[in-house]
A = this chain, B = another copy of it.
Amino acid sequence: MEIREKICASLSVIKEKSPLIHHITNYVTVNDCANIVLAIGGSPVMADDLEEVAEMVGFASALVLNIGTLNSRTIESMLIAGLKAKELGIPVILDPVGVGATKLRTKTAEKLIRQIKPEVIRGNMSEIKVLAGLEVAIKGVDSLADEQDSSVVAKKLASEFGSIIAITGKTDVISDGLNVCFLENGHKILADVTGTGCMTTSLVGTFCGVTKDYFTAAAAGIISMGLAGEIAQASLRQGEGIGTFRVRLMDSIYNLTPEILAKEGKIFYE
């Protein structure tokens, strides 16, 4: 089965099975992440207390770890939940938000990767370059890095970590260490709204909840967001902006069908 067909099939399974996606995530975009998981057909649960995360993740089909507003309490919860997930064969998706900006973020991301070995790591070019030990200019949590050598970086890092590496940007790149694919959906207005990266990771997590083919799941989540962004942007009229765009983005994910994905998804192989 070709990747495009697999993506479409996965979307149907999400809508049928409504996989539970456990998040330990940041308080800035947590509501958006919960709603995007619901919009695509999954079932989100956010729980981060040390005393309950191992138990909660046992019900889940995937675990999303997002370090956007990490603190000492939630870092420990991420480790415990992540280790439990691995023990149970539940896929872990890491969003290393702002890694490289502070030592705490870099140290935490590295620790989570080393100890948990996430199935998928999704970040922007700056974040992934930091994980790859490459030099990069950092400003807060947004990417400044150019995307020129993204496929080389993704492939190398995927091979080194044994994780799917997904770099989102103008062109998105995904690698499992052997294969590389490029995704060309999306619109630059997505960068004008907070949480579109986090939401993309949550969508990747939702797809990981219904297939063991995490390369396809990563592509599916990213392409869903890109396509929804295009549809939402195209709907904007004079005087509308990111307020309306966010609403339509959620609408577009809610109305996404396997048919739209098959027809409009732009996937290329190296």
Partner-B contacts on A (CB < 8 A): 20, 22, 26-32, 34-35, 38-39, 43-52, 55-56, 59-60, 68-73, 98, 101-105, 138-142, 192-195, 235, 239-244, 246-255
Contacts and interface: CB of A to CB of B under 8 A. Distances in A.
A248 B254 contact: no
B139 A43 contact: yes
Contacts of A241: 39, 250-255
B52 A242 contact: no
Contact of A239 (B31, B50, B105, B251): B251
Contact of A138 (B26, B59, B140): B59
Contacts of A248: 243-244
Ranked nearest first, the 8 interchain pairs of A and B with the lowest CB-CB distance are A241-B254, A243-B250, A45-B140, A52-B102, A34-B194, A241-B251, A243-B247, A52-B104
Given A244-B251, A247-B244, A254-B192, A49 B34 contact: no
A26 B242 CA distance: 22
Contacts of A193: 35, 38
Q: How many copies does the complex hold?
A: 3
A47 B31 contact: no
Given A56-B101, A242-B38, A243-B247, A142 B30 contact: no
- Chain A residues touching B, majority SS: mixed
A28 B20 CA distance: 16
B250 A102 contact: no
Contacts of A59: 101, 138-140
21 contacts: A26-B46, A31-B194, A35-B242, A38-B242, A43-B139, A44-B140, A47-B98, A48-B69, A52-B101, A52-B102, A52-B103, A55-B103, A56-B140, A192-B254, A241-B252, A243-B246, A243-B248, A243-B251, A243-B252, A244-B247, A244-B251
Contact of A243 (B60, B70, B239, B254): B254
Contacts of A249: 243
B255 A251 contact: no
B69 A71 contact: no
Contacts of A105: 52
